[in-house]
Amino acid sequence: MLAADRSAVTDALRRRVAREAPHLWPEDHGRLFRATALFERAVWLIGRKALLLAPGG
């Protein structure tokens, strides 16, 4: 389900990039963190909206 919690997935992605691409500039790591944080936030908002739209929500 798209609206399921993706924190573990995005955290694993961040760790993998840090481990496998140490040559990236700190700014690139920051961009990855911001992009994945925005993704997590979007997933959270979608899940919240789904709860509000559900019967009895």
Tell me whether residue 37 is in a domain: yes
Measured CA to CA, the distance from residue 15 to residue 38 in angstroms comes to 17
**Residue 1, pLDDT above cutoff 70:** no
Show the domain range for 13: 7-53
Residue type at position 12: A
Contacts of 13 (CB under 8 A, 6+ apart): 32, 36
Question: Does the pLDDT of residue 4 top 80, yes or no?
Answer: no
Is 30 contained in some domain?
A: yes
In a domain, 14, yes or no: yes
| Structural domains in the chain (count) | 1
5: helix, coil or strand?
A: coil
Q: From CA 43, how far away is CA 8, in angstroms rounded? A: 13
- Residue 11 included in any domain: yes
Instruction: Tell whether 1 is covered by a domain.
Output: no
Burial class of residue 13, CB neighbours in 10 A (0-12, 13-18, 19+): middle
In a domain, 2, yes or no: no
Q: What is the pLDDT of residues 30-54, one digit of tens each?
A: 999 999 999 889 888 988 898 888 8
* Residue 23 pLDDT: 93
pLDDT on residue 9: 85
In a domain, 42, yes or no: yes
Residues 10-28 pLDDT 10s: 889 899 998 999 899 999 9
